[in-house]
Chains A and B, each alone.
Chain A
């Protein structure tokens, strides 16, 4: 093939690539860029059930930053996201370490450990709501039979317990996801490193601290990033378990947005709250990505 023919092929390949990318681009525009654009535009409007709709600048943003409930929701969201991420990390790491040591039946055990991931978060909320129910739930019944408590735990009428209950229900679903990431990292570590460390007198804890954690750090960070990003904006479990209560103990940003839209019927402030949530998540993610690539 001559050089000129090769050059022609190069040009037509890239054009061909653009054409093939076009449907995907259309989908991204329709499902991401257009809705986010509409969100931004609406956040600058006075848009309620009472006409007219008009441009009001940053007034919606001023409203939510001066609203006590926004800060309550932000605080609860931070606690919730941190709690879920922590439990997800610990649970995922422990299960991944256990699975990496198992050889017989590992396929079956790995499939079993993935089961909670198949459960939608809303359903998880309903399942754990029944488990934690003080009157008929097995959790309190089990603890009372063990003699650890004398009366049922009021999970849904205690602000602290309600938050913990929601965190458990959410983390239960996300642990398998974290486990996959961690397991992938663990399986990429050469076994010779552990052999060499043992020869030098390292025990299990030393191996974990100096070999396992550093070499799986990147995968764990990515898993934590995705988990915390998703948890920051989720309300599925809270919607089915506590609906933001008791006394707004589990009232998160997602619920704040819902209230602006459905209770206040103010689409302008709801959109502004949505924009603020989006920017918070993006800045959070940006910080994480910086940490990951900085170490490289």
Chain B
């Protein structure tokens, strides 16, 4: 009996040891082979017409153009991802609006044989679903989409709910990406946890005919924007009816509240975070509230999420909006932008009177993070996807096909981008002007407070100075 038990024990130990030795995972991938990582991810291919076999996820992209080759797979990827034929990812919104995601997913599948099962979700549900999945230690989702990396990654890294991916971000590779962007994907321990998917860079869109008829010029400063939007609002309501506004903005979305606070603060040469705490600059608050109280910002803007305000502008209901560069492509689509065809233009976001600093904004990027509870082989597959997604080829497709800002700066120099992407110089200037800061964990809650007090000033007539005082006191208590 004892002999049998001893043999069973020895066999168990040998099995356990061999399992750990034989287990595959990210450590089996040789990221600097067959060529150094930098060469692999910056390799380019020709721009080709997309053939029909790339149509998938119910989205037709064939007939359009994209970069179908270029990226070089690292050695050892096959062994590292053995047995993985599928990765499950979440995505922000419908893939109909993400043709570049569809193309890149199909290219990845053709290269590796790993199918990306993409779950389309409404933005407000992405974070709660991610938290629920991770708290349950579920392996149902392999890769999560994070729309607010700099706000969410600190929580994920602290709780051990994301896999560090430092191996992908060597110092040589980091040189090809904006420094402030890289800060946004780091955790509280300084390690990299996310992989940037695209950049969100804010621009001022306007209706030239509305400005001309209202007797205003394109505003270069925030103070000018308050005045101009007010005049346009008066003209629009008197001429076109009460359903029209001088300006719309997605002030119902805390992430966009963060963007406009950042733009207003950074254009003064100041910062949002002082001594580790979120401090609202009084001049920033004044202009923000003046956009509603003295300017032409619609009250409805307080409830608009990130895609609603640009849509209202697209239907011809507003004179100004500030939103991401992806809308430079979308507003050219007559089936989407039904109300503004041949009557819209775009420029840099305003600067501060007497200082300048146009186009500055928080370095906002969407990124992916890896579920720490999935198998090592799936982690390897996920890291392979990250490696591809941040490559020149994938980022070219994001910018060229869809109009998302590229996280890799040199993509803007490609001849096809220079020739065919609208407003390339404008985009480059905006991306270059982005500023990154490290946020404390209570930042999400603080932005919700800002949204609340902004509503109190605009809708309930609260004195702006009193609102700022109460707001700052609550934020200080929180932090």
Contact = CB atoms under 8 A, between A and B. Distances in A.
A265 interface: yes
A44 interface: no
A259 B128 CA distance: 10
Task: Pick from A134, A158, A245, A247 the residue with the most CB of B within 10 Å.
Answer: A247
A49 B155 CA distance: 6
A261 B300 contact: no
Interface of B: 124, 127-128, 131, 135, 155-156, 158-161, 242-243, 252, 298-300, 302-303, 312, 317, 441-442, 444-445, 448, 451-456, 458-460, 474
A265 B442 CA distance: 9
Interface residues of A, number: 28
Nearest to B446: A263
A248 B441 CA distance: 22
A49 B302 contact: no
B122 to A, nearest CB: 10
Given A135-B317, A247-B460, A265 B155 contact: yes
Interface string A261-282: 1111101000000000000000
Question: 8 closest A-B pairs (Cβ-Cβ)?
Answer: A247-B455, A157-B299, A151-B242, A49-B159, A49-B155, A50-B158, A262-B128, A135-B243
Nearest to A150: B242
A91 to B, nearest CB: 27
A82 B251 CA distance: 30
A220 B160 CA distance: 52
Contacts of B252: 243, 245
Contacts of A267: 135
A154 interface: yes
A154 B128 contact: no
Contacts of B131: 261-262, 265
B243 A245 contact: no
A51 interface: yes
A159 interface: yes
Contacts of B456: 247
A156 interface: yes
A242 B459 CA distance: 15
Contact of B452 (A135, A152, A242, A247): A247
Contacts of A262: 127-128, 131
A51 B303 contact: no
Nearest to A133: B300
Contacts of A116: none
A258 B124 CA distance: 12
Interface in A46-60: 49-51
Interface string A131-145: 000110000000000
Contacts of A245: 252, 302-303, 451, 455
Contacts of A157: 298-300, 302-303, 459
A154 B300 contact: yes
A246 interface: yes
A49 B161 contact: yes
Contacts, number: 81
Interface string A232-258: 000000000011011111000000001
A247 B444 contact: no
Contacts of A264: 442, 444-445
B300 A156 contact: yes
Contact of A134 (B128, B243, B302): B243
Contact of B243 (A50, A152, A261): A152
A150 to B, nearest CB: 8
Contacts of A158: 459
A95 to B, nearest CB: 32
A207 B445 CA distance: 56
A248 B455 CA distance: 8
A157 B453 CA distance: 14
Contacts of B135: 267
Nearest to B453: A247
Contacts of A50: 155, 158-159, 441
A267 B444 CA distance: 16
Given A50-B158, A156-B300, A243-B124, 14 more contacts: A49-B155, A49-B159, A51-B160, A135-B243, A135-B300, A154-B300, A245-B302, A246-B455, A247-B456, A247-B459, A249-B455, A259-B448, A264-B445, A265-B441
A291 B460 CA distance: 39
A259 to B, nearest CB: 7
Contacts of A247: 302, 452-456, 458-460
A135 B317 CA distance: 9
Contacts of B312: 135
B347 to A, nearest CB: 26
A21 to B, nearest CB: 30
27 contacts: A49-B156, A49-B158, A49-B159, A49-B161, A49-B441, A50-B155, A50-B158, A135-B243, A135-B317, A159-B460, A243-B124, A245-B451, A246-B299, A246-B303, A247-B452, A247-B453, A247-B459, A247-B460, A248-B455, A261-B128, A261-B131, A262-B128, A263-B444, A264-B442, A265-B131, A265-B441, A267-B135
A248 B456 CA distance: 9
A249 B451 CA distance: 12
Contacts of B445: 259, 263-264
A156 B459 CA distance: 11
Interface in A4-30: none
Nearest to A247: B455
A51 B459 contact: no
Interface in A146-200: 151-152, 154, 156-159
A154 B460 contact: no
A51 B159 contact: yes
Contacts of B160: 51
A73 B269 CA distance: 38
A263 B448 CA distance: 9
Contacts of B451: 245
A51 B242 contact: no
Contacts of A152: 242-243
Contacts of A159: 459-460
Contacts of A51: 158-160
A134 B161 contact: no
A207 B455 CA distance: 50
Contacts of B158: 49-51
Nearest to B155: A49
A248 B474 CA distance: 15
B317 A154 contact: no
Contacts of B460: 159, 247
A242 B451 CA distance: 13
Contacts of A243: 124, 252, 303
Contacts of B124: 243
